[in-house]
Amino acid sequence: MTVTELLRSKGFRITALRTELLTLLQRSDRALTQAEVEQQLRVDVDRATVFRALNAFEEAGLAHRVLDGSGTSCFAACAGDCDEGHHKDAHAHFHCRKCGSVFCLPSVELPKVKVPRGFRMEQSQLELQGTCKACT
């Protein structure tokens, strides 16, 4: 599916920003913060606009959100089969301590865990920290 088709299939309108934004996320091999997104976008947009677009993408299942080590949100395009509000990207994320980048590791699967009696688990994330390929 093209970016345009993807956007349309979720009921979004086709605007310069949203097209560029989704393309950018798809082409990146790592998750980007909003600040990074703003720098890399060719179009000149307001922070609030990017903010709302990213949130809309997440809710629609076009992108998923990861918290980097310091608590800032990073976004990456979803593999493809995510639904509204339900992300099935069951993979780990790697945070580089040197450059701060967040990588998606589709090869690392999430473990099945048992939570204590009374708790009901709905989702899980596996976060790894270390040094990335480029920084080694």
Partner DNA sequence: AGCATTATTGCAACTCAATTGCCTTTACTC
Partner DNA sequence: GAGTAAAGGCAATTGAGTTGCAATAATGCT
Q: Which residues bind a copy of itself (CB under 8 A)?
A: 67, 71-73, 92, 94, 97, 103, 105, 107-108, 111, 113-133, 136
The answer to whether 131 and 97 are in contact (CB under 8 A) is yes
- Rule CB under 7 A: choose which of 2, 14, 125, 127 binds DNA: 14
Neighbours of 28 (CB within 10 A): 19
The answer to whether 78 and 89 are in contact (CB under 8 A) is yes
What binding mask, one character per residue, do residues 69-108 give for DNA by CB under 7 A, x or -? -xxxx-----------------------------------
Beta bridge mates, 33: 74
What is the nearest approach in angstroms of a copy of itself to the Cβ of residue 49?
A: 21
What is the nearest approach in angstroms of a copy of itself to the Cβ of residue 117?
A: 8
- How far does CA 23 lie from the centroid of its chain? 13
What binding mask, one character per residue, do residues 49-68 give for DNA by CB under 7 A, x or -? x-xxx-xx------------
What is the nearest approach in angstroms of a copy of itself to the Cβ of residue 5?
A: 31
Q: What tokens does 106 get? A: 């589709």
Instruction: Let me know how long the chain is.
Output: 136
Q: Does 17 bind DNA (CB under 7 A)?
A: yes
The answer to whether 134 and 126 are in contact (CB under 8 A) is no
